[in-house]
């Protein structure tokens, strides 16, 4: 596969740890809650079969137990929101109830979904107003690791906690619930008292640089949780990066195992993880097959900064020899791109701090330098900041699109296409694994190909949520 971003040039190196607590952060750790794998969240259904998810404000402790609680926005009062788990081909029915003081909607990240259910405020639906409800009802066509999150002012709403896990199981799951762990990782900017720094949301400085980077990582909303694993038994560990902007680089030796899937799509053969970091950009997922060894505890360790930062532990108990499953989960069937007959589209990314900023159009007019501070628009796709009346391109249903993204900025980005999965096209023309979000380093060009087989209006944007808000958002139309 393409080296998706290991040591991406331009990756910011914001350190972890609260300023006065750096010494406590790594070594001492926090007791955390010992969690049984799987089944830690339960979700109730209403009489009509809908799962009810209320988005609303809540108090939540992100840091150690005796630290102050943060003002977050949560789904059903939890972090993450309730786990939704269905089988491939089943319907997902969710009633969103908006108890926030601003409009919201839910996007089902990575699901090749009916366009009307994609949940993008301002493109596929109006935001659900405060006090309002919206019913999502769609088929989950592919098994895999997905997540859902707010898609209105995402930089603020996701950044305050509005996200949750969505797991679509195979018809015959290879791993039972005790051996199937969903770990949603998130990067938070905390104040010295351990509370979320809410005052810095929307800072133009973040929007024009690497996005909102934090100083603390949680897993499933917990600081340094500890999981219990049994030696010799195979586990599927589903890793999701819910960070606003942080590209996570995990030490592969500390977690062990092999990659068996990216962005929800399982591979046909497990990939041995190399000594390079396991790089997971914002919104990306990696599924691992881990078979713990006797006497060797495992951990999630972030290595992109100058200090190794351990943020989850796996206590391995019992005796057992490696016993991998006889087979991997059955892969999904996604229509392959036809490169010989592809429509080629170039996406030129410009703007941001230390970058070239040519003329930029926003809402149909040319932006002046003075406008930039007023609108917060500092990035552009092909010279246009944010959603325009017209799509980036039209594709006929079934047509293959070869999207060539040229990063003429000084920053890395994580580009997400809605409604489709694509494959990265290497220089030699070979195709990488299926993905729905790709990383691109500064001055880098990445080509992806997909068959535009899902009709509708689909967002194409940077999943560094500040970048998306600051201009790195466009849309495509499949007719």
- Give the nearest distance from C-beta 325 to Cu ion in angstroms: 37
Region 89-108 residues binding Cu ion, contact defined as CB under 5 A: none
- Give the nearest distance from C-beta 36 to Cu ion in angstroms: 37
- Give the nearest distance from C-beta 468 to Cu ion in angstroms: 7
Which phi and psi (to 5°) does residue 336 adopt? -75, 145
For the chain, the farthest-separated pair of C-alpha atoms sits apart, in whole angstroms, at 67
Among positions 190, 464, 465, 469, the unique one binding Cu ion when judged by CB under 5 A: 464
Q: Which CB sits closer to Cu ion, 259 or 446?
A: 446
Burial (CB count <10 Å: 0-12, 13-18, 19+), residue 250: buried
d(Cα 166, Cα 170) in Å, to the nearest integer?
A: 13
Among positions 462, 465, 469, 470, the unique one binding Cu ion when judged by CB under 5 A: 462
Q: Which CB sits closer to Cu ion, 212 or 413?
A: 413
Burial (CB count <10 Å: 0-12, 13-18, 19+), residue 216: buried
Scored b (16 or more CB within 10 A) or e, 128-160 reads beeeeebebebbbbbbbbbbbbbbbbbbbbbbb
- Give the nearest distance from C-beta 467 to Cu ion in angstroms: 3
Q: Which CB sits closer to Cu ion, 120 or 349?
A: 349
Contacts of 443 (CB under 8 A, 6+ apart): 9, 407, 408
- Give the nearest distance from C-beta 282 to Cu ion in angstroms: 9
Burial (CB count <10 Å: 0-12, 13-18, 19+), residue 161: buried
* Interface region with Cu ion, contact rule CB under 5 A, candidates 236-244, 358-366, 429-437, 461-469: 461-469
Q: Is 467 in the site for Cu ion (CB under 5 A)?
A: yes
* Interface region with Cu ion, contact rule CB under 5 A, candidates 132-140, 306-314, 333-341, 456-464: 456-464
Q: In the structure encoding, which two tokens stand for residue 185, read together?
A: 């990782």
Helix (H, G, I), strand (E, B) or coil at 22: helix
Site string for Cu ion, 411-440 (x = CB under 5 A): --x---------------------------
d(Cα 466, Cα 457) in Å, to the nearest integer?
A: 22
Binding residues with Cu ion: total (CB under 5 A) = 4
Locate tokens 């007791």: which residue?
31
Region 281-320 residues binding Cu ion, contact defined as CB under 5 A: none
- Give the nearest distance from C-beta 281 to Cu ion in angstroms: 10
Q: Which CB sits closer to Cu ion, 400 or 409?
A: 409
Q: In the structure encoding, which two tokens stand for residue 253, read together?
A: 């030796």
Q: Which CB sits closer to Cu ion, 286 or 470?
A: 470
Site for Cu ion, rule CB under 5 A: 413, 462, 464, 467
């Amino acid at each position: 596969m393409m080296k998706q971003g290991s040591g991406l040039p331009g990756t910011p190196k914001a350190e972890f740890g609260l300023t006065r607590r750096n010494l406590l952060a790594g070594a001492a750790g926090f007791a955390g809650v010992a969690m049984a794998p799987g089944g830690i969240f339960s979700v109730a259904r209403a009489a009509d079969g809908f799962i009810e998810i209320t988005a609303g404000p809540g108090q939540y402790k992100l840091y150690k137990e005796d630290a102050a609680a943060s003002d977050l926005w949560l789904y059903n009062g939890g972090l993450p929101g309730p786990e939704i788990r269905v089988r491939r081909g089943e319907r997902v029915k969710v009633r969103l109830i908006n108890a926030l003081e601003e409009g919201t909607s839910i996007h089902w990240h990575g699901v090749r979904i009916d366009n009307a259910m994609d949940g993008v405020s301002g493109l596929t639906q109006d935001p659900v107003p405060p006090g309002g409800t919206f019913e999502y009802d769609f088929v989950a066509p592919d098994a895999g690791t997905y997540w859902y999150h707010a898609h209105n002012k995402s930089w603020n709403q996701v950044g305050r906690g509005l996200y949750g896990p969505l797991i679509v199981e195979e018809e015959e799951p290879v791993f039972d619930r005790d051996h199937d762990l969903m770990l949603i990782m998130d990067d938070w900017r905390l104040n010295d008292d351990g509370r979320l720094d809410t005052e810095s949301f929307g800072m133009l400085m973040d929007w024009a640089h690497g996005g909102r980077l934090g100083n603390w990582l949680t897993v499933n909303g917990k600081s340094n949780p500890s999981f219990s694993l049994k030696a010799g038994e195979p586990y599927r560990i589903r890793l999701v990066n819910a960070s606003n902007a942080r590209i996570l680089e995990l030490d592969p030796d500390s977690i062990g195992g092999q990659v068996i899937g990216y962005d929800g799509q399982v591979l046909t053969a497990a990939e041995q993880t190399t000594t390079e970091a396991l790089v997971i950009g914002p919104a990306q997922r990696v599924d691992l097959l881990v078979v713990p060894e006797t006497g060797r505890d495992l951990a999630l360790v972030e290595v992109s900064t100058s200090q190794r930062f351990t943020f989850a532990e796996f206590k391995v108990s019992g005796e057992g020899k490696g016993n991998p499953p006889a087979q991997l989960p059955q892969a999904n069937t996604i229509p392959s791109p036809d490169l010989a007959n592809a429509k080629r589209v170039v996406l030129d990314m410009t703007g941001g701090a230390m970058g070239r900023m040519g003329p930029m159009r926003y809402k149909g007019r040319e932006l002046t330098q003075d406008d930039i501070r007023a609108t917060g628009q500092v990035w552009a796709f092909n010279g246009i900041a944010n959603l325009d009346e017209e799509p980036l391109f039209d594709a006929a249903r079934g047509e293959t699109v070869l999207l060539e993204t040229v990063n003429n900025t000084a920053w890395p980005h994580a580009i997400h296409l809605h409604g489709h999965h694509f494959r990265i096209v290497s220089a030699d023309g070979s195709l990488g694994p299926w993905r729905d979000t790709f990383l691109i380093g500064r001055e880098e060009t990445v080509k992806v190909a997909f068959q535009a087989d899902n009709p509708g209006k689909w967002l194409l944007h940077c999943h560094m949520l500040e970048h998306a808000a600051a201009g790195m958002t466009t849309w495509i139309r499949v007719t």
